[in-house]
Structures are given as structure tokens and as C-alpha cells.
Amino acid sequence: MRALTYDGKTAVVADVPRPELAQDSALVRVTVAGVCNTDIELVKGYMAFRGILGHEFVGVVEEGPEEWRGERVVGEINFACESCPICYEGLQRHCPSRRVMGIVDADGSFAEYVNVPISNLHTVPASVADDVAVFAEPLAAAYEVLEQVHVMPNQECLVLGDGKLGLLIAQVLRQAGAHVLVVGHHEKNLEILAQRDIRTVRERDWNPSLYSLVVDATGSVGGLQKALAATRPRGTVVLKSTTATKARLDLSTLVVNEIRVVGSRCGPFPPALRALETGSIDVASLITHRTSLANCDEALRRAGDRGQLKVLVEAQ
């Protein structure tokens, strides 16, 4: 099969062996995959990953248990052992021996086929198109904020960053009843939210004030410091950025202002799929480029361009 492989230096599309069906897994024929900022950071050295990149996908089960064959699916990316104390607590996403699709010790979805544990699969509603369903994983990560922080109706919330994840998080917070302000750099991206009556401002025009909840979705090493500066005493910062560059941080602000910092990663698929089915979250406006698997290396480079949002890869 064809796949985008990374050897630690270069990401190239190459012919690789088609994966054999793993135990308790399904072999999924990938139809559409999405490029995430994490993919861009991986080729900069994040997690020292080697193998097939990609973790956002929608596809069709070709091999596996009979009841799953032919099902159109999306999948959670953390492959847990299911037998350790952490897994028994229901924290499979934090299993100490987990593998992570396209990120840690597991091949990813920039390929014609990918192996996914059956327990990680979710069926896609028939009315949800592939170009929409492929957003299930990042949208689930946006909904994780609501799992971790109790968002009050009319609460004033700040989202730093107008990239793909920032735009999704802003919509999820607004859906939860919060008053949201998004600070970003790209007029075109911010306009997507403005059309949904979400307040936005260019960072150069922003007059900072203090918020009880601040989400750092900048994808930059300096995002957390900006988030802390905008958080009121005893407020909460949700940290969504992962970067290959290590941050240097003055922690005194956390101590003096008693700020809670919440690391936030993957999230629940059911509310994400419901939102995609009902159309309550706009994802179509985030698609800025499509390409074929044969040009996936170019897609990865394009996804890192300034102002670029979601780049989709058609695997079939």
C-alpha cells in the first residue's frame, strides 16, 4: 500500500507492506485523513516518532469481526493495554504502556489501511459526509475542555489561537453557554467565528483583560505565558498546545495568583459525532485544501503555511 512514512529526517510517500490484521482489531480502509498540528510538530522532532504519520481519519472496516465489516468508522487514537490499574480506572487514554496512532509506537492513518483496536472504533452516522466525519478526533479534543472544566452559563472565556483547534474549542464553549472571545492573527480565520456571533479580535488590536477561563490553543511555545497573563486570580488555564520546542516558564504567577493549569489532550467521541450529525459545530469552513495520498508529503508542508486551516488527504 501507499503511505506517508517518517524516518526521523524526511517524510515521504512510499510503498510499504499492507498491515496484517492485529488481534482484537479491525483493518480499516482509510477514505479521508486530516493533517493536525501535531503531525507538523512530529516532523520537527516531537516524540521522536518513526513510522507512518496521521491520526485523524474516517474509513471503512474491511477485515475484523463480522459485525464491524463494511461499517464506516472513525477511531480513538490511544491503544491501551486494557489490563493495568490505570485502564481499570477507565483512563485508557493515559495507559502507561499505550501506543498512539501515528504518534507513539503505532503506524498512522496517512495510508491506504490502518489497524485500529475494535474498542476504539465509533460508527459514523449515515448523514455525516467523510469530509465532516474526519473532524471527529479534533472535535472530541475540543469537547474534552467541557469534561475537565465546569463551564458556567454566561461565563467569560478567552481562547488564544485561531487555528483549527482554537476555532473548534470556541464553538464548543459557545455551545455550552459561555461568552467567548477569540484572539488570533488571521482575519480570514476569525471571520469564520464572527459569522457564528462569536467575538474575535486580532492580537495586535487586543486590549488584554482578565478571564476566569483561558484556553491556550496557539500551538506555540509562548502560548502558556500569554494565557497566564490573561487569567484572573484563582482562574483556570486549559493548555492545548503541544510543541517540539521546550518552554521556559516563570511559575511564580501560578503560585501568587493560585491559578489552576489543566493539561488537555484527547476527548470523548460521542458528543463530537452528535455535533457533526446535527451540524451544531461548523467544520466545513475549516477545510482549506484537499489533496491525494500521493501528494501527502506536500500536504504536510502546506498545512504548516501561515493561515492554513484543515488540509484533507483523500486516501482512496
Helices (H), the chain: 37-42, 85-88, 130-133, 136-148, 164-175, 187-194, 223-229, 252-257, 269-278, 296-303
Both 198 and 93 in a single domain?
no
User: What is the pLDDT confidence band of residue 249, given thresholds at 50, 70 and 90?
Assistant: confident
Q: Do 165 and 224 share a structural domain?
A: yes
Q: Per-residue pLDDT for 246 more than 90?
A: no
CATH code assigned at 55: 3.90.180.10
Helix (H, G, I), strand (E, B) or coil at 243: coil
User: Is 275 a domain residue?
Assistant: no
- What would the pLDDT profile of 63-73 be if each residue is shown by its tens digit? 999 999 999 99
Question: Does residue 181 belong to any structural domain of this protein?
Answer: yes
CB atoms within 10 A of CB 224: 20
- The reply to whether 118 and 165 lie within a common domain is no
Asked if the model's pLDDT at residue 244 lies above 80, the reply is no
**pLDDT (tens digit, 9 = 90+) per residue, 164-212?**
999 999 999 999 999 999 999 999 999 999 999 999 999 999 998 999 9
Is residue 34 in a domain?
yes
Q: Is residue 271 part of a domain?
A: no
**Rounded distance, CA 295 to CA 309, Å?**
17
Lowest mean pLDDT among 242-246, 265-269, 308-312: 242-246
- Residue 269 within any structural domain of the chain: no
Are 120 and 154 contained in the same domain?
no
Across the chain, what does the average pLDDT equal? 95
Q: What's the pLDDT tens digit per position in 27-85? A: 999 999 999 999 999 999 989 999 999 999 999 999 999 999 999 999 999 999 999 99
Helix/strand/coil percent split, the chain, to 5:
30, 30, 40
> 84 and 145: one domain?
no
| Same domain membership, residue 107 and residue 38 | yes
Length in residues, the chain: 316
Residues 243 and 295 both lie in one domain: no
Residues 250 and 293 in one domain: no
Q: 123 lies in a domain? A: yes
SS3 177: coil
Catalogue the long-range contacts made by 254-259 (C-beta closer than 8 Å, 24 or more residues apart): 254/228, 257/228, 257/231, 257/232, 257/233, 258/233, 258/234, 259/228, 259/231, 259/233, 259/234, 259/235
Which value, to the nearest 10 degrees, does the dihedral of the CA atoms of residues 101, 166, 227, 255 take? -50
Q: Do 79 and 101 form a contact (C-beta atoms < 8 A)?
A: yes
How far apart, in whole angstroms, are the C-alpha atoms of residue 241 and residue 308?
17
Whether residues 120 and 161 fall in one domain: no
- Domain match, 149 and 249 both: yes
pLDDT higher than threshold 90 for residue 253: no
Check: CB of residue 159 under 8 Å from CB of residue 173.
yes
The band of 247, judged by pLDDT with boundaries at 50, 70 and 90, is confident
**pLDDT of the residue at 176:** 97
Do both 173 and 76 map to the same domain? Answer: no
If one counts the domains in the chain, the total is: 2
Instruction: Give the domain CATH number at 258.
Output: 3.40.50.720
What gap in Å lies between CA 222 and CA 162, rounded to an integer?
15
Q: Is 264 helix (H, G, I), strand (E, B) or coil?
A: coil
Q: According to the model, what pLDDT value does residue 242 have?
A: 79
94 confidence band (pLDDT: 50, 70, 90): very high
Same domain, 153 and 121: no
For cell 482578565, the residue is: 210
Domain that holds residue 306: 2-135+283-314
Give me the sheet containing 260-263, strands edge to edge.
199-202, 179-184, 156-160, 211-216, 231-239, 260-263
CA distance 72 to 100: 21
